[in-house]
Structure formats: structure tokens, C-alpha cells
């Protein structure tokens, strides 16, 4: 069987178990994981995001914000505050442009 599977360039899935032990802000961590899950390099063109609503050059803005949120969720509050603000702003921008499902 040779089904096409979207894979994560950064191996995020493999790191998830270890990272979860260091998380200080689980809400931010989960929000980052959710965003990262939809913004992955996918298909034949590894330079493009697999999310059809995004399709930006990979790593796209959504992926970079997701990675920042996941990283910041394990750090001190100023990092978490900044990452949460960026993530919420990105989601708000998606709503405003009607690019959400």
C-alpha cells in the first residue's frame, strides 16, 4: 500500500510525549499542537503548506506561530504571553477574512 501521508518535517509527533512533561501552559500547548496539525508540509510539493486554506510557502505563518506557541508553552510567562497574543491574532485574522471552515 502506498497511501500518501502528510508527515511532519520537524518530527513534532515524536517529540510530543517528551515536551508534554515540560509544559507550563497546557492550553497554549494544545492550541499550538492543533494549529501545527493543520499546517504541515504535505503531498509532492514539500515547499508548500498542506492546508488548502493556507497553501503558503512552508513553513508558513500558521506553522511558525504554532511552533512558537508550542515552544513558549514550556517557557516563562513573557514568552507565553507573546505567543498566545500572536496565536489569537492569527486566528482572528482567519475569521476576519472568512478563511475558516
Q: Which residues bind Zn ion (CB under 5 A)?
A: 39, 49, 51, 54, 60, 62
> To the nearest whole angstrom, how small is the minimum distance from the Cβ of residue 56 to Zn ion?
5
CB closer to Zn ion out of 28 and 65 = 65
Q: For the chain, where are the E strands, in sequence order?
A: none
> To the nearest whole angstrom, how small is the minimum distance from the Cβ of residue 36 to Zn ion?
10
CB closer to Zn ion out of 28 and 49 = 49
**The Cα angle at residue 52 between residues 50 and 57, in degrees rounded to 5:** 55
> To the nearest whole angstrom, how small is the minimum distance from the Cβ of residue 75 to Zn ion?
24
Amino acid at each position: 500500500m502506498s497511501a500518501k501521508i502528510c508527515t511532519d518535517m520537524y518530527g513534532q509527533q515524536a517529540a510530543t510525549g517528551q515536551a508534554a512533561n515540560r509544559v507550563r501552559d497546557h492550553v497554549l500547548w494544545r492550541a499550538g499542537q492543533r494549529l501545527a496539525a493543520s499546517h504541515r508540509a504535505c503531498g509532492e510539493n514539500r515547499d508548500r503548506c498542506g492546508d488548502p486554506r493556507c497553501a503558503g510557502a512552508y513553513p508558513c505563518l500558521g506553522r511558525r506561530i504554532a511552533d512558537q506557541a508550542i515552544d513558549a508553552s514550556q517557557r516563562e510567562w513573557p514568552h507565553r504571553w507573546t505567543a498566545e497574543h500572536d496565536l489569537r491574532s492569527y486566528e482572528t485574522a482567519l475569521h476576519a477574512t472568512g478563511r475558516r471552515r
